[in-house]
Amino acid sequence: MTTDSFIRYLKYERRLSDHTVSAYLTDLEQCFQYLADMYEITEAAEIHHFHIRAWIVHLMDGGMKSRSVNRKISSLKSFFRFELQHERIDVDPMQKIISPKGGKKLPVVVQEKQLEQLFTQIPFTDDFAGLRDCLMLEMLYSTGMRRAELMGLKDPDIDVRSNQIRVFGKGGKERRIPLLPPLEGLIKAYRESRAATFEATEFSAFFLTDKGSPLYPNFVYRKVKQYLGLVSTGERQSPHVLRHSFATHLTDHGADLNAVKELLGHASLAATQVYTHNSMEKLRAVYEKAHPKAKKTEQ
């Protein structure tokens, strides 16, 4: 089974990030390998809904969580919809597939005091690498942008004069995020250090590695994990945790949910509403700790 035209569609028409396209491809390859091994199926037109169901059962029997299974189902739905539109199959086998239900997980966040400790007490070196690491972390938390959006930043996207950052999100959708005053001095220092370190005036990307190349996904992940590990013991210490922290902390302090939606670049308000649950959990904890009616009677 070939996925070449579908992958080109994801890259050049939907303009998805390389990371997302890679995830789609992995999901499809895993499914097709299973179907080839179990049913000797080699063409998309040979696949029926019961084949897909068998693969889903196989995944869940192997311990895969509903959320991960549903992501793979979403990948298959996109692929078969594409194949049907291009008349390479007559029937979409995904029409009879029902996604497994799973409990909703609240986003993992870092506490405000821990992030304050990171930016005020953890020393960053004064060289190019230290300035870059500090600015990278500050920007992820202060703007809530995604890792791919951070990696895609160009110098013209960061306008200190108008105090805003231009970000290109999923599907190439553009949005503007306010630039907080504390970042202005750090941006200036970083730009000066970058120019001195690499002896250039123009760069292909705003953020660079120690070797002067544009950032790549694992580089950003390792840096965030390294620094968050100094202030947090949470199991998850990824760039997306900083995005969750940004949105949750805004909501905790009474930010309008529609404003948070625009800052995050969400297509719908439903995706943003999960952060209200985090705030409610925080309020519930305060209530149960402090309100007389909520306290348990001591035995």
Half-sphere exposure of 57 (CA within 13 A, CB side): 7
> Does residue 112 register a pLDDT over 80?
yes
Residue 271 in this model has a pLDDT that exceeds 80? yes
**Catalytic residue of the set 24, 141, 227, 275:** 275
Of residues 254 and 132, the one with the higher pLDDT is: 132
- The answer to whether 145 touches 243, Cβ cutoff 8 Å, is yes
Catalytic, 240? Answer yes
Catalytic residue among 15, 49, 170, 236: 170
Q: What is the model's pLDDT at position 114?
A: 94
Annotated active-site residue 261? The verdict is no
Tens digit of pLDDT for each residue in 164-178? 999 999 888 999 999
**What's the mean pLDDT in 99-103?**
74
In the chain, the N- to C-terminal Cα span, in Å, equals: 67
User: In the annotation, is 170 catalytic?
Assistant: yes
Pairing of strands 174-178, 158-159: unpaired
Phi, psi of 165 (to 5 degrees): -120, 130
Q: Which domains does the chain have, with CATH numbers?
A: 4-96 (1.10.150.130), 112-287 (1.10.443.10)
Residue 297, pLDDT score: 43
Tens digits of per-residue pLDDT, 39-77?
Answer: 999 999 999 999 999 999 899 888 898 889 999 999 999
pLDDT over threshold 60, residue 298: no
Per-residue pLDDT, 280: 58
Query: At residue 156, does pLDDT exceed 80?
Result: yes
Q: Can you read off the two tokens belonging to residue 61?
A: 């029997």
Average pLDDT (228-243) is: 90
Task: Please say if 277 is a catalytic residue.
Answer: no
